[in-house]
Structure 1
């Protein structure tokens, strides 16, 4: 039995937490690893965008935005009707599952590159486009609550949060600088896998440390955290056919559909929907969905898509 090397570091972090081993990463280092991954993925996509941008990419981008706006409408009724959650909590969690996890995308990217599976090199553009629509839809779904919306702060968190700003900024730098960006790639390119391994080591520890919260929120959140990624991955695979993506592109789009944000959306929802239970959202996206995708989901999506295209 073989497990991907980057996923193995996630398991190591989880095991360390279970055994109460003192390997907690300094907060500054964890933040630095996050920034590195965002910039590295953005630059790589920007370089490709400068080489491959055309009319086809324009309508692919439009459909990607539609996809990101569509997913919360699937998650919301599941949370509201079957989970019995409030409108505010349902809308907040739905927004998390309409947006994306940059770390989940990075893991899928590392795995398909290691396996030599080709994909559209401008794919980070789609990642950036999927960050925002779900937040807007989540706020619309929560519109019946009585709390006032601070529009200025909300817009600031939506468009200028860390994830969106660095990913889009690096994407634009790579696009505008073109081949000059290659000067940076010995750092942002060659070190990518090592940084991702360290990041997953900490993520394994963090997600496992929150497992006790499942006792508080019950089995529904645990079930939703597995079922919703499978729904998102299925819809992502179908949408990828409309986008005319390659095998690798289909795998990545399915992964994006299956992922859930735990960085950009929580920041925006904390400002826009302060009455929402943020701990509930993070428990679902980080403690359940992220480990599921890293350990089970991504290998499953790869196997099914490769078989589908065989």
Structure 2
């Protein structure tokens, strides 16, 4: 009986000793423990300086050698007008800094977040992003980028233009959202900045007050599959849209279209499967062959077009003016 009791007690002590020390940041923020003792951290309504950038808040005070795994950090509704301090070395995959009144980002801020795949800077006060905002340097002092970053969300800011040097440091991104910014998309620098992102698969430009797509902006985006131009005063079909040969989903809700004809309708988009044309308040007619360039179209959404009175039976029929695109 005594031997059994001792064994039980010994097992309890061993289990307690093996428990990892509690992450200090979990005393300031809410933490969810995930797989392999990784943490998802959520903070809201904090100033940020003390919790985010102090390395002691991310490492164990009892055991400095213990290395925590942090999968995501969501820090929202705080006060970070000048994001200039460098994040400590963390294993973050996702970082959400939305709703923090950020108006400037210093260089090397993200230098230690080498695993980061998603960066959300939505709903802030960014106007012009410093070209070195996403710049980092390696141990030898050579400039490097955020090479693992795949998703960058800059929507709901005050961005007018993008510096082409900025995107050189996020060249691997596949998803870019610039929605709800007062963009000057006719600006050469902005076009060049976007055109450099040759791996881009999804581009969101809704409610940016653009009237058309600049020439050749899609020329280098050969992997682009999703494009959202909704909420813009686009009255005529952008000619450069024909360069979107690999587009599969296109959103053009709430635009300025009136009548779409064979001449003014969609160009040949050979892989497009889904088209959204909803809430176009001035759209009246879809005439013969106006959609015939969409030879693989499977889903067409036309809801809430209050003035739409006519859809020609041949609107989506094949036209001899469109030749099949072959790679």
Question: Which TM-score bucket, shorter chain as reference?
Answer: under 0.3
Question: Normalised by the size of structure 2, how large is the TM-score?
Answer: 0.19
Structure scoring higher RCO (CA < 8 A, sep ≥ 6) equals: 1
Question: Normalised by the size of structure 1, how large is the TM-score?
Answer: 0.20
Query: Which structure has greater strand proportion?
Result: 2
Q: Greater Rg, structure 1 or structure 2?
A: 2
Query: Which structure has greater helix proportion?
Result: 1
